[in-house]
Amino acid sequence: MNMLYARAFFLGLAALLMGRTASLHAQEVTQSPEHGEETVTLEFLPARDSINWLAMSTARGAPTFRVRIDGVEVCGLFDTGSARTIVDLDFARERGLRISDFSRPAQALGAEISARRVWAVPVEVPNQFRLQSSMFGIDMPDIACADGMPLKFVLGSEFIAVMQIVVDNTNKRILFSAGGRVTPSGNMVRLDWQDNAVAGMVNGRPARLKVDTGSATDLLIEAAHMESFFPDSVLINLPASTAASGRREENTGLVDIEYGVGDHVITGRVKRVSDNHDPAVGNIGYRFFSNGVTIFDAGQGAIWLQPQELSDDEPL
């Protein structure tokens, strides 16, 4: 869920990391085979008369949607906090997809996890896009989305980087499209979004924060920085939670903390998390972006907010 630069630049970088070459077209992204590697294709499906919205739920605190993996409908998560796109390993086995014999540590879902490569995973989000690519396979925790459908897929930053994603929180719908499809309205506020981070503010102090749409916790701050942001505060126990990676999050933190970006400041809870030695001091979760319509456009290096009343959905 990182490295969100201009569209063509990031795609080339992602291809380099995955051992492939890349080219970018108006409606299709193809990573061509090199030395026997696979072809990776992302095709945006054309809308005939109007925007083809997809139903979305945030009832578990993060944006989920229905997606077809190898023709089977499952629940997917839109997660800028994951550097990689993920498929559930047991589901991949059930579908007979090709899986690497060896596991390896991988940075995904905001944690270092054990993963195996699953080859040529066919993905379709109806009326939105088709994707075929290898991706990391992990043993996902037993998490069901709002309608009871199991979570089996996570759309991570390597593909978020080549999309414009519009989230309509008011009407519970989402749009995945090629960049530039939707133009921000005049009342929307632009946030500069580079390297999947924003220049934020925590408790009145500047803070570089990663954007983590997969997190239902308002704000996560690394342990090494907690005292500097909250020098006179005593941490309290908060409800325990589990990240999508299956990692049990710490349950100590604070409530009624002011945080935000620019003039958009809200009050929420902050949890302490282990240090990962990242330039960002922590993660800002999805609740901050759950006001009205939000546009995530990595190619433009921007997130556009339309401030409205915050959602009262229950956290994950």
Cβ pair 80, 62 in contact under 8 A: no
Residue 114: the pLDDT is 80
Burial bucket for residue 171 (CB in 10 Å: 0-12, 13-18, 19+): exposed
Cβ pair 219, 283 in contact under 8 A: yes
Residue 312 has pLDDT above 70, yes or no: no
Give me the helices (H) in 18-121, please. Answer: 89-94
The SS3 call for residue 242 is: strand
Top pLDDT among 19 and 277 is at 277
Q: Which residues pair with 209 in a beta bridge?
A: 198, 282
Q: How many CB atoms lie within 10 A of CB 147?
A: 11
Top pLDDT among 6 and 167 is at 167
Q: Give the chain's count of helices (H) and strands (E).
A: 4, 25
Cβ pair 2, 293 in contact under 8 A: no
The domain segmentation of the chain, as residue ranges, is 48-168, 189-305
Task: Categorize the per-residue pLDDT at 263 as very low, low, confident or very high, splitting at 50, 70 and 90.
Answer: confident
Task: Write out pLDDT tens, residues 45-98.
Answer: 876 557 789 999 987 788 999 999 999 999 999 999 988 899 999 999 999 999
Alpha-carbon distance values, 192 to 218, 262, 265, 302 (Å): 19, 10, 15, 5
Show the tokens assigned to 230. Answer: 């909250």
The string of DSSP codes covering 101-157 is S--EEEEETTEEEEEEEEEEEEEEETTTEEEEEEEEEE-----B-TTSPBEEEEE-H
**pTM above threshold 0.95:** no
Residue 11 has pLDDT above 90, yes or no: no
Structural element, H or E, at residue 158? helix 157-160
How far, in Å, CA of 306 to CA of 30, rounded?
33
Alpha-carbon distance values, 137 to 104, 247, 272 (Å): 11, 16, 28
Residue 315 has pLDDT above 70, yes or no: no
The SS3 call for residue 258 is: strand
Structural element, H or E, at residue 269? strand 264-273
How far, in Å, CA of 146 to CA of 157, rounded?
23
Residue 45: the pLDDT is 83
Nearest to 97 by CA among 120, 116, 72: 120
Residues 199-215 as b/e (b if ≥16 CB within 10 A, e otherwise) read: ebbbbeeebebbbbbbb
Maximum mean pLDDT: which of 2-16, 107-121, 284-298, 301-315: 284-298
**Which amino acid, 121?**
V
Residue 302 has pLDDT above 90, yes or no: yes
How far, in Å, CA of 5 to CA of 13, rounded?
10
- Which residue in this structure is represented by tokens 């270092």? 112
- CATH architecture for residues 189-305: Beta Barrel (2.40)
Fold of domain 48-168? Cathepsin D, subunit A; domain 1 (2.40.70)
Is 189-305 in the same CATH topology as 48-168?
yes
